[in-house]
Amino acid sequence: MSAKKKQFVYGKNLDNALLAVYNAYVFFIRFFREVFRGRMEFQEIVRQCYAIGNRSLLLISLTGFITGMVFTKQSRPSLSEFGATSWLPSLVAIAIVRALAPLVTALISAGKIGSSIGAELGSMRVTEQIDAMEVSAVNPFKFLVVTRVLACTIAIPVLMFYCALVSLLGAFLNVTLNEGTSFIAFFENAFEQITFLDIWTSVAKAIAYGFTIGIVGSYQGYNASKGTEGVGKAANSAVVTSMFLIFIEEVIIVQVSNYFRI
Amino acid sequence: MEEDFKPGEPVIEVRDLYKSFGDLHVLQGVNLTVNKGENMVVLGRSGTGKSVLIKIMVGLLKQDRGDCIVLGKEVSNLDGNDLRDLRLKIGFSFQNSALYDSMTVRENLEFPLVRNIPNLSRAEIDEQVEYVLDAVGLLQTINQVPAELSGGQRKRIGIARTLILKPEVMLYDEPTAGLDPITCLEINELINEVQKKYQTTSIIITHDLTCARATGDRIAMLLDGKFLKTGTFEEVFDTDEERIKSFYDYNFIQ
């Protein structure tokens, strides 16, 4: 490729990247404008919350339970070296509440819910269903995007609490089979080290992740083009982009919460 | 102030309209007038910008240049509530029907109604839904989902969904595309019934000469981004213009 052609291609790619960032910014701002404009579609929000919970409950139960059990199993040898296996419940609880439950919930939801929002809105876009809403004087952004983003923001923190509970049950099962610890003793020990800051940080994380999954999935689907290929691309980009953003948010929120911890 | 159009007065006026997509110049100085109560057929080959023209009329696309005045308002100057008010008076029937596939037929029809006319009672909603479904002859499909309907039924439900808001202007995008000849005839009859029953002014986008002849009071032939000829079916096709003749012959052979 000649130097001039290379420069042109790179220039065009940069233009496209900047345009994508600008479009995402406009979409993000529009969401906040539309939330407070016109009547709220409460029924649709409830329907979406139910759909999100229904879609992810089984997967979150399974992954949460296994995460709790495996993490406990992996942590035991290190603690037993120092004769500190009695710390296992509190160590596992801290890990689950602070990091594992929000992250596992978010990653599962990004794959399950983010992709489904991207595909659903994408197929509505390419089959002109979104245009049909627009020409019948209904605001499709308010009905499709605002409801899905709010539903994700509400439902994912609830799923996160559920995931934490199931993970702790997985951890308890492992501990009780190995150390014979009772249910009450395990949970007393586990919650001893958990502070309100831990819980609020996890809630903040889950809210941020939920919002991210909802808005990224909606953005990708709402702006899908090029027929069925575009629908697949929207679903795929919804997962990849939201996972990437979730990890960035994780770093930022942990930094901020550590500042308060000190 | 609301404009009240009398029969024969222009309801849609398109003047010197241009629209391009990148290097593709779709509309190149289009002029068209549609009068109240008239069925105007826009005829032309695929990809000549027929659908683009009606999408500009309803504000889904914006022209690059020129005027598109619908019900006395320049569409490209409208936004927010003004555009919404105009859209309430325009019914748009999509080529692939664009029914909401996660909803039943009843929910598809209720959707624009309850969102645009608040405070309707359940009985009033049911009455209006059943009335338009009866008008398109598909009352029995009320609880079905779009996936269970045939192509012709989907088209009819799509038209019913636009009729529920009692539009003054109807825009049909390829109403007979992909349908068998008998269903095409039924759709043509439905378009004429809608015009009579709802006193609508309509634009019918098609490349089907049978549909054009059956539904059009006037026909506008769109070729190479411009209207080549406008008039009754006979006026348009009684010509020596080679491109119009070949379009007619091709349809006839088909």
**Do the Cβ atoms of B96 and A134 come within 8 Å?**
no
pLDDT in tens, A94-126: 999 999 999 999 999 999 999 999 999 999 999
On chain B, the residues whose CB falls within 8 A of the CB of A117 are none
pLDDT in tens, B133-169: 998 888 999 999 999 999 889 999 999 999 999 999 9
**Do the Cβ atoms of A136 and B116 come within 8 Å?**
yes
What letter does residue A36 receive in the DSSP assignment? Answer: T
On chain A, the residues whose CB falls within 8 A of the CB of B111 are 133, 136, 138
Three-class SS state of B109: helix
Chain B nearest C-alpha distance from A9 (Å): 18
Residues in CB range of A79: below 8 A, 6 or more apart:
A85, A87, A88, A91
Q: What is the pLDDT of residue B4?
A: 67
Whole-number Å distance between alpha carbons of B150 and B154: 6
> Which percentage of chain B shows pLDDT scores above 90?
55
Which two tokens mark A18? 């900047």
B1 pLDDT more than 50: no
A66 pLDDT more than 90: yes
Chain B nearest C-alpha distance from A134 (Å): 8
**Do the Cβ atoms of B116 and A135 come within 8 Å?**
no
Chain A nearest C-alpha distance from B247 (Å): 29
B253 pLDDT more than 70: no
Could you tell me if B171 and B91 are in contact, meaning their C-beta atoms sit under 8 angstroms apart?
yes
**pLDDT tier at A151, thresholds 50, 70, 90:** very high
B interface test, pick of A40, A135, A142, A225 with most B CB neighbours within 10 Å: A135
Residues in CB range of A21: below 8 A, 6 or more apart:
none
**Do the Cβ atoms of B87 and A129 come within 8 Å?**
no
The whole-model pTM stands at 0.88
Whole-number Å distance between alpha carbons of B112 and B216: 28
**Do the Cβ atoms of B87 and A137 come within 8 Å?**
yes
Residues in CB range of A17: below 8 A, 6 or more apart:
none
